[in-house]
A and B are shown apart, each in its own frame.
Chain A
């Protein structure tokens, strides 16, 4: 049994406030749970139990002095291992970062500390967040708590599995093409990819800078709002971060959804969609209609280009962002007879197959003679795709799509076929390309008892509107209360 580790953030906050439990007890419960299930799940790459307990003690002292910092004070949170935490190794699940210990905190970490959160450790991911199953980790795959033979999704699979398995109360993930939302769907969680610019990227080891956003992975939507509120906001260290002027998420989440219009693109409900996912999606639609939500069919003619555009833009930026891993100052170094040989040997030994594939692809599309045909064309298509979405969102308050084409697939099922793997992000990549917010929550289960997710897509900076829709849905349904039976 998971005990207090099974609590949500808002439940834990209530118990902490009522002094029914201390942060140290809660943290100990989480680490006991980690010890019990981690050998089967492998959600973490690095645990920080000692500092976590010290943080929990500090939280308890604040509470004893009647000066708690807010709903996250004393709550154990897991961090995806592509964010920098001062003094804690950051690996991006890659051998090339061996031994690298960041001397600074990412802005989201600074903000979590300011909110009093307890950091449990760093979670597994696909190497440099390149993947949809967490199988591309150099340190072995993470398993889906709902079925240990299946993937938790990726690339934030470690964070999703940790939350689903009660190895953390909540977690931070990062999302470049679906890396928060697809694992949320596959693990039965709420996962928000905020509007681009809402959360500072400072300290997030970049995959594709124009697409990356950090966001929450939580047990329900209310938690999602609490965690998002703690990490978001303008940051002087990130020029692409934005000053927010709307209501904060925990306020925006309140209120009615009666009379809102949701758009569903006809291009989304095609033959590639698993019948069980389709059935769950239709059921969720009916539940939302009961809440007074109206639906409208829309068209996103460029939808089919989203994945190809993504696989030009994202690798191009990745090839540039990963250039710094060269063995000169930190991480792995394989010595060579000269500097060029050192570079080659280090990068050959340090990167796994997927980073190599994307570096080669990205380098190619940025090369002289190919730039116009590939990268520039992709940028133009990206602009057109954004226009399509903005047009659709003129007539609709938000859009509703499936989160993934299928529930969680088996470990090893798609590892030999990168294209098949890429297709599992078909519903999520365009949201990053257009910079809008996307929120995934569970909307049903397959016959094999695997979670199925759906995705709300909103107007720029209307992340709160999506949280409100999802919260009213969760008020009326129980999908989010189901838990895997890991024992």
Chain B
């Protein structure tokens, strides 16, 4: 049997989180009562006209810039026609031959670059709710239409067929999710449908340049379903070809329950969308001044930030990845540094202690009661020797629940580190007396024994002893003839 290669291209749809819809002033808030966020325009009533939401356009272009696309001097909108009850005008305002961004790329690391063919804007359709519906569409007693979603701004990011594995497809979508969240242009939430994707997948004998028959997969609503649907489809297509069969262009639906894909429509049933330029919107022109202004609105992108954390701040690539995976975390981290904390220590505290504690409480970084300034202050207490690293964790545990300043916690709990050698001297002598064997071992040349003894000093002082001071005193005491 020939060895096959899987070829995948993705169309990722991303709902932009502007306050209002793409062509009218209706709210885009998620979860409102059905048909409560509608007006004549998004209901597509006779006589209405679309007016472009300038913020939608700006955000779309920012995404285009962020994936390295060319932004053309002129772009336009077109009408895409098909009849369906979720489409009140029976055409969707979209972009056909002159999208607002084209020819970009996303780097997945490990030398894998996925080319972006185009980025374009369109209006979302309404949501159909099938009342009394069984498993199959059409078995319900009624179809209800919720127009709240009608006219939501939808950004479509189309990749070239550069993806080779289902896992890579998932990594690509996740990378776009991070990006749109970084840009603060979308929630990127797959569960709420603000991030959706369709895939084109084919297989071909390895080494063959020509692509196999393109199969489009729809209805993948989670990262899991993207991976499962594509894995299923890659296997199915290999089997068909392996058994001497042939594949024809078609559209298939992923079925969450069975984990497989089912035919939806063949090539002959493909729509003729009869695209033509939307006469109600003018051709848009982009001048350099505006483009530079939008470029100026772009934050430092995750890849660039990650590299900077490694090269300039000296973090490991792993830690840099953790901190830059979420823009809010990175911003928190940078605020901690800005408040004077050393980058590496701050990295440990943010990625391990803070994120761990928040995760345990099912909270996000925005919910943290510990402000970056307070975390920096805690780190400063350690560095000044006021408290030990160990005590600091106790202090932090208090702070995460109370939001109190670290100095206040230290004072309240009496956790100031004992660095005064005279104050420690008695404890050191007691520990040596109580641990004769370890003391003897150390004197006999077993250097490790000192660690145990320091631990005992810490224990005896409830962790308040400065370990360096304890170590020094123990050595002095044990070094006496």
Contact = CB atoms under 8 A, between A and B. Distances in A.
B45 A330 contact: yes
B88 A323 contact: no
Interface string B262-285: 000000000010111001111000
Contacts of B88: 324, 328-329
Interface in A180-229: 201-206, 208-210
B89 interface: yes
A201 B47 CA distance: 8
Interface in A307-362: 316-317, 319-320, 323-326, 328-330, 338-340, 343
Interface size class of B (residues with CB under 8 A): 20 to 34
A328 B49 contact: no
A47 B202 CA distance: 63
B253 interface: no
B138 interface: yes
Nearest to A330: B45
B276 A316 contact: yes
Given A104-B40, A367-B272, A320 B79 contact: yes
Contacts of A366: 81, 274-276
A206 B47 contact: yes
Given A204-B47, A239-B50, A324-B44, A339 B276 contact: no
B194 interface: no
Nearest to A328: B85
Contacts of B89: 323-324
Interface in A50-100: 83-84, 90, 92, 97, 100
Contacts of A97: 46
A238 B279 CA distance: 11
Contacts of B40: 102-104
Nearest to A325: B46
B276 A320 contact: yes
B29 interface: no
B47 A239 contact: no
Interface in A367-382: 367-368, 371, 375
Interface in B30-55: 40, 43-52
Nearest to B51: A239
A338 B279 CA distance: 32
Contact of B90 (A236, A237, A326): A326
Given A317-B279, A329-B43, A338-B138, A201 B85 contact: no
A106 interface: yes
B49 A238 contact: yes
Contacts of B279: 208-210, 240, 317
A254 interface: no
Contacts of A375: 276
Contacts of B332: none
A240 B282 contact: yes
Q: Which of A238, A328, A330 has the most CB of B within 10 A?
A: A328
A338 B138 CA distance: 8
A360 to B, nearest CB: 13
A363 interface: yes
Interface string B128-150: 00000000001000010100000
Contacts of A320: 79, 81, 91, 274, 276
Contact of A323 (B45, B81, B145): B81
A320 B52 CA distance: 20
Contacts of A328: 85, 88, 145
A208 B143 CA distance: 32
A253 B71 CA distance: 46
Contacts of B276: 316-317, 320, 366, 371, 375
A323 B83 CA distance: 8
Interface of B: 40, 43-52, 79, 81, 83, 85, 88-91, 138, 143, 145, 272, 274-276, 279-282
24 contacts: A90-B46, A90-B47, A102-B46, A103-B40, A104-B47, A202-B49, A203-B48, A206-B46, A206-B280, A209-B279, A236-B51, A238-B280, A239-B52, A240-B282, A320-B79, A320-B91, A320-B274, A320-B276, A323-B81, A323-B83, A326-B90, A328-B85, A330-B45, A343-B83
Given A203-B48, A210-B279, A338-B138, 20 more contacts: A84-B46, A97-B46, A102-B46, A201-B49, A202-B49, A206-B280, A209-B279, A236-B51, A238-B49, A239-B50, A239-B51, A239-B280, A239-B282, A240-B282, A323-B83, A323-B89, A324-B46, A325-B46, A366-B276, A375-B276
